[in-house]
Amino acid sequence: MVTPFFRHGLLAGILSLGLTWAAFAQMPDKPSPHLRAAITDFDAALAQQCPAKRLDLLSPADLSGAVETFNDLSPAEMAAAQKAEEGACAHNIAGVSCGNMQMILAIHQDHHMAAFAAHVCATPKTCTAQSVCPTAKP
């Protein structure tokens, strides 16, 4: 006879395994060549403008903040970027990373990467490892 404790533990294990597989099923495939080119462009611009800050290691949340405060896209460019983001990220559970990548792609395609990199470089952070980017003390 199966005890209630065992039955609940087994059910919880099966559910957690199912959620893990569901998460893997929703992970994006390899990035497109266009997205890889945009990321390469972004990393190169950061390396040129503020190499010592290592801002290519910003956390997704910090990068999202920079994306949200970047104002060099025209209203039409921003609308197109947001529409592309909604389409690309509608079924993605990756948090802000998908949106960040779609906005970097739009910034690249609209030839604003140098300005965006300068905007990111203006952040008072310096990274020492992936997502370890303390704010510089004034």
In a domain, 3, yes or no: no
Residue ranges making up the domain that contains 38: 32-138
In a domain, 135, yes or no: yes
* pLDDT at 130 (0 to 100): 94
* pLDDT at 27 (0 to 100): 38
In a domain, 47, yes or no: yes
* pLDDT at 10 (0 to 100): 42
- Are 106 and 35 contacting, i.e. CB atoms less than 8 angstroms apart? no
* pLDDT at 85 (0 to 100): 85
Question: Which tokens hold the place of 101?
Answer: 């990548």
* pLDDT at 40 (0 to 100): 95
**What residue has token string 């559970």?**
93
* pLDDT at 29 (0 to 100): 58
In a domain, 11, yes or no: no
Sequential pLDDT tens for the chain (138 residues): 555 544 444 444 443 434 333 333 333 456 788 889 999 999 999 999 999 999 999 999 999 999 999 999 999 999 998 888 888 887 776 667 888 899 999 999 999 999 999 999 999 999 999 999 999 876
Q: Name the pTM for this structure.
A: 0.74
CA pseudo-torsion sign 84, 85, 89, 94: positive
Give the count of domains, the chain: 1
In a domain, 7, yes or no: no
In a domain, 132, yes or no: yes
Amino acid at 31: P
- Residue 91 DSSP symbol: T
Which residue in 119, 46, 60, 107 sits closest to 82, CA to CA? 107
* pLDDT at 13 (0 to 100): 45
In a domain, 58, yes or no: yes
